[in-house]
A and B are shown apart, each in its own frame.
Chain A
Amino acid sequence: MTPRALRAWSWLHKWSSLASTVFLLVLCLTGLPLVFHHQIGQWLGTEVVSPPLPGGAPRVTLDQVMAAAKTRFPSKVGMYVSQELDDDTIWYVTMGDTPGSATGLKQVAVDARTGAPLAEPKLDRGLMFVVHTIHVDLFLGPWGKLFLGFMGLLMLAAIVSGVVLYAPFMRKLRFGEVRRERSARAKWLDLHNLLGIVTLTWALVVGATGIVNTWADLVIEHWRDDQVARLLSHYRGMPPVTQSGSLEKAFANARAREPAMKIAFIAFPGTAFSSEHHYGVFLRGRTALTGRLVKPVLVDAITGEVSASRPAPWYMDALLLSQPLHFGDYGGVPMQWLWALLDVLTLIVLGSGLYLWLGKRGPVRRVLASDLRSAAR
């Protein structure tokens, strides 16, 4: 590598890291508890559990589920009805003042077998809400999200330039060598290089999928404009639905189209995931991979008949697959611990990078300069 190229890569590594380090530290620190959000929810008692009933217990209809939720919040209207990937005994009903509301949302968990309200999970307070919101948008709304996405891009630049710099710095060292008996700076430089190169793939994947997730709202908006509007062009100009028909009938008709699939969620007319005139019924497959993807079925909200059913476009699949790759929630508890450990290793890479930069100011700077000169040779 020429001295000039080395200086350019060093410059890129330094400034892309410096500009993003504080935010990446925040993301790693808040991401750590989020890896364990199910377990933490259990400890805090905020995780909803359904009472054990015999396996084949009959199910109540979705209209009954909605009626049960309505008794808790009579002034609110339905927005979404959903089920978790691994528990079909609970329906989560999300309600708002209007279907398009972004604030003041309420949720009721309803037992799918008995129709009894089980809990009202809080959507806008509590420890995990604060941690999650900091992680997602720093409490700054959509712009905060995009800002963190930009920090993610800087992180990718820092990773790529870091890999390029790995070669000149490690040329004279064996893999995993840490020069402990020399200065503290040499030790931390070697640790920074070691942990950086070991976590490389994971950090790239979690960084890139995190960036994709910051675009989720935009992707869904595009899907609505691109697909929904085109599939339902003959509904254009019709007045919005004020009195929807049976949710159960809409659900049953959608499921009849794809009998092998499970329900992910149903979006009410007027929400981001449907049209003004339709229920958006989102079905998912039953295998590890297809369970992460959805098939949207648009059902006329008044008649309950299916209007359109088409596989989700590639960008929706990409968004949905980027979620598990970011969350690390697809390999059980061992995976959670690996995710946590890799997160901590990344924290050490960030911290040691900061330390090396701080240490560079003052007399130590000359040491690094000589390091760089010998590396370029």
Chain B
Amino acid sequence: MTRHAFWSLWGWPLVLAILSGAGLVGGLLGDGAWDWLTWIGLGVPCVVAVWFGLRGRSTR
């Protein structure tokens, strides 16, 4: 698999996985700013799921 093909396939899933992981762990560590990390970390994947799930990306 070429480098380009790898990132076009796994780029977004990796970003979302890292965000979710940071959110899940971050919230455990503290309150305040840590809570925001959680909300953003888990919120972005939710927004992505709802956005593409409802609208879909048009096929080429």
Contact = CB atoms under 8 A, between A and B. Distances in A.
Kindly state the interface size class of chain B when it binds its partner.
35 or more
A338 B56 contact: no
Interface in A264-283: none
B24 A176 contact: no
Contacts of B48: 176, 198
Interface in B23-43: 24, 27-31, 34-35, 38-39, 42-43
B24 A205 contact: yes
Q: How large is the interface on A (under 10, 10 to 19, 20 to 34, 35 or more residues)?
A: 35 or more
A166 B12 CA distance: 13
B57 A176 contact: yes
A345 B43 CA distance: 13
B4 interface: no
A324 B28 CA distance: 8
Given A198-B48, A198-B49, A201-B24, A177 B56 contact: yes
Nearest to A201: B20
Interface of A: 166-167, 170-171, 174-181, 190-191, 194-195, 197-202, 205, 287-289, 292, 321, 324-325, 330-332, 334-335, 338, 341-342, 345, 348
Given A289-B30, A342-B46, 10 more contacts: A174-B57, A175-B9, A191-B53, A198-B49, A201-B24, A287-B30, A338-B46, A341-B46, A341-B50, A348-B53
Interface of B: 5, 8-13, 16-17, 20-21, 24, 27-31, 34-35, 38-39, 42-43, 45-46, 48-53, 56-60
